[in-house]
Amino acid sequence: MSGNAPAPAPDLQPHERRRLERKPAFLRAVIVEANGQNARNCLIHDINAGGAQVSASISFPKGTEVCLLDVGNQIAHVAKLAWSKADRSGLSFVESHRMATGLPIHLSFLWKLLLEAKLRDIERNIGNGISAGSAFMNASLSGVELDLMAQRAAGDAGFEETLHRARQLLNIDGQ
C-alpha cells in the first residue's frame, strides 16, 4: 500500500455533515404541522441556528413543513423535516421568530399552543404543592402577559377558554 494513496472518504453521520455544530439541549417544546394541526409535546435534544434534533413520534414525510415552538425561550421555528428515525427527528430551520408582536399572522395559532404548554406546567406545579403565584413565576407568565395573549385570541373560543382557566389559576393566590 502506497503512502501517497488517498484515505477512503469517511461515511459521515448526519451530525457530522452539519455546517454548524449543534449544542446539547433538553428543552420543552411543541411540534405542530405548519397549518396548526396535530400539535404534540416534544423535547429538543440539540439545537443550533440552522436546525434541531427532537424526540417526538412524527409520521410526516421528509420535507414536511412544521413549526417547532421552544416553550421556555418563546421562539418559534418554521422548519422542514430533514430525517426521522424511531422517536427522533431532525429539523432544518427555514425561519425563526420570537413570540412577540412581530410574529407573522399565519403563525398566530402558536400563541394558543404556548399558553397551553405553560398552563400544563403551572397545573403540574400546583399539583405538586407549589403555590399558584410561584408556578406562574416559574412559567414566566403574568396577568399582563395573559392580557397581551388575549389580544391575539381573535375570537378563538378554545384560546379564550384557556385564557379564562389561566386567569382563574392566577387568582388563586389573589394576584
Nearest one of 54, 41, 23, 12 to 124, comparing CA atoms: 41
* Confidence (pTM): 0.83
Give the span between the Cα atoms of 168 and 175, in whole angstroms: 10
The answer to whether residues 130 and 148 belong to one domain is: yes
pLDDT digits (tens, 9 = 90+) for 107-123: 999 999 999 999 999 99
pLDDT digits (tens, 9 = 90+) for 124-154: 999 999 999 999 999 999 999 999 899 888 7
What DSSP letter does each residue of 76-95 carry, written as one string? EEEEEEEEEETTEEEEEEEE
Residue 4 has pLDDT above 60, yes or no: no
Give the span between the Cα atoms of 167 and 108, in whole angstroms: 20
The answer to whether residues 93 and 168 belong to one domain is: no
Read off the pLDDT of each residue in 154-175 and give the average, rounded to a whole number: 85
Output the pLDDT for position 8. Answer: 45
The answer to whether residues 28 and 93 belong to one domain is: yes
Give the span between the Cα atoms of 113 and 104, in whole angstroms: 15
The answer to whether residues 94 and 19 belong to one domain is: yes
CB atoms within 10 A of CB 65: 13
Does residue 67 lie in a domain region? yes
What's the DSSP call for residue 64?
A: -
Query: Residue 108 in 3-state DSSP?
Result: coil
CATH of the domain at 64: 2.40.10.220
User: Grid coordinates standing for 142?
Assistant: 403574568
Nearest one of 52, 46, 12, 15 to 31, comparing CA atoms: 52
Q: Determine whether 80 is exposed, middle or buried from the number of CB atoms within 10 Å of its CB (0-12, 13-18, 19+).
A: middle
* Helix spans in 69-175 (H): 109-127, 132-138, 143-150, 157-170
Q: Where in the sequence is the domain holding 145, given as residue range(s)?
A: 108-173
The answer to whether residues 112 and 91 belong to one domain is: no
Q: Report phi then psi at 108, rounded to 5.
A: -60, -20
Average pLDDT of the residues of the chain: 86
Q: Which of 71, 98, 125 is the last residue of a domain?
A: 98
The answer to whether residues 94 and 113 belong to one domain is: no
Q: Residue 28 — pLDDT band, cuts 50, 70, 90?
A: very high
Q: Which of 98, 131, 160 is the last residue of a domain?
A: 98
pLDDT digits (tens, 9 = 90+) for 51-61: 999 998 777 88
